[in-house]
Amino acid sequence: MYNYQIIWLSLLCGTLASCIAPYEPKGVTPTSGMLVVEGNIIEPYGTTIRLSRTKALNATDSYEHINSALITISCDDGTRYYTAELKKEGDGIVPGTYTVNEKIVFTRGTTYTLNIKIGDQQYQSNPVTPLHAPEIEDVNYITRNDGRQVDIRVSTSDPAGEIMYYRWACEEDWEYTAPEYATHRWNPELKVIEQLSKEGVNTYYCWDKGHSVAFALGRTDKLASATLKNNTVLQLQGGTTRFLYLYSVLVKQYAITKEAYDYFSNLQKNIEDAGSVFAPQPTELSGNIHNMANPEEVVIGFVTASTETSRRLYIPAEEVPGMNVYYYCEEEMTGLSSQAIDLYATHWRILNRIDRDKYIWLLARCVECTELGGTKDKPDWWPNDHQ
């Protein structure tokens, strides 16, 4: 039995904004149009602020991103001023996501305030005092449910006894393979059949990222010591590509205040009770962000400030065989190179060559790893040399 309290905020529903709209409680002010602020001030890098507004129950999307805000972070001593910019990705932006790209250095005794300007409306957080997160002492995992579930666990402590409330976030990356290794492929642009190699160009190895962020809370104020041992911060179920080859999770740890802990605990209780943050009264979820001209406006979100400590864990697929997923690829056909254009157009792909002009073909999902949701974009820090 666990001797600690842990709260799940968005393991299943991704970002906070995607959890908050599909419920309009009766007898209270409609929840559409509420400003949602997700973000934490982090030293030195990593500060990300997400802005959105909730939509009504019958809306196509549960929330809408805000891409035209001016976001700054100010210090109470007036010596520092940071600006958050829309996060760029490729040739575009990440909707509703703002990042501080310059280095933030916390000064002892200084408080920090998040300022948000949307049109002619000015929002501001309460001044927050930065906390220093202890180091993560260990990240490990255990399997449950006959090997069909993996729990990621963290151990940490604060010998000084100053930090009693924690928040964790997890970033997932994994390498997986196609069900079968193709030795050749049809190149539709050059209209030729090319040879592939596991050591070079191939359609076998791919990489993917977590589509949701695990957000967990922990506390030590009710324990005999300021130590958390083997706290579960992420639970993973089988049946995905995560454990087809090599899985990695980066656990990030932050220190938070009791007020922040209570806020997120209340948020979780609302989600569990009614599938929404708006139960039974949305005003109960007002955090530390306010409309400067209209203090009565309910804003969802609680800004904190903390240093970040982190630790990475790798799990090879062979260590958790119960988490693997099997893709059936028995259906195949034999085709000539002269049939390649037609077969490719109907979603067949070459597996291998039988003789000079004859090939075995399988469905695309069996030999092209990108068909399973990932890409060929390997992280720069990945620990092997696969291509």
Q: Contact at 8 Å (CB) between 331 and 318?
A: no
How much is the pLDDT for 31?
61
Neighbours of 204 (CB within 10 A): 21
Coil/strand/helix, residue 145: coil
Return d(Cα 362, Cα 366) in angstroms, integer: 6
- Look-up: residue for tokens 């099997």? 326
Q: Which residues of the chain have pLDDT under 70?
A: 1-31, 56-62, 211-214, 271-286
pTM (predicted TM-score): 0.86
The sign of the dihedral angle between the CA atoms of 104, 107, 110, 111 is: positive
Q: Contact at 8 Å (CB) between 170 and 152?
A: yes
Q: Contact at 8 Å (CB) between 347 and 364?
A: yes
Q: Contact at 8 Å (CB) between 163 and 134?
A: yes
The sign of the dihedral angle between the CA atoms of 14, 17, 20, 22 is: negative
How much is the pLDDT for 326?
86
Q: What residue ranges do the domains of the chain occupy?
A: 7-172+212-317, 176-207+322-372
How confident is the model over 208-218, as pLDDT tens digits?
998 655 579 99
Cα three-residue angle 222-228-229, rounded to 5 degrees: 130
Token pair for 34? 């509420």
- Closest by CA to 18, choosing from 27, 9, 7, is 9
Return d(Cα 121, Cα 34) in angstroms, integer: 13
Cα three-residue angle 214-173-184, rounded to 5 degrees: 145
Q: Which residues pair with 253 in a beta bridge?
A: 168, 309
Give the CA radius of gyration of the chain: 25
How confident is the model over 252-278, as pLDDT tens digits?
999 999 999 999 888 877 766 655 554
Q: Which residues pair with 152 in a beta bridge?
A: 141, 234
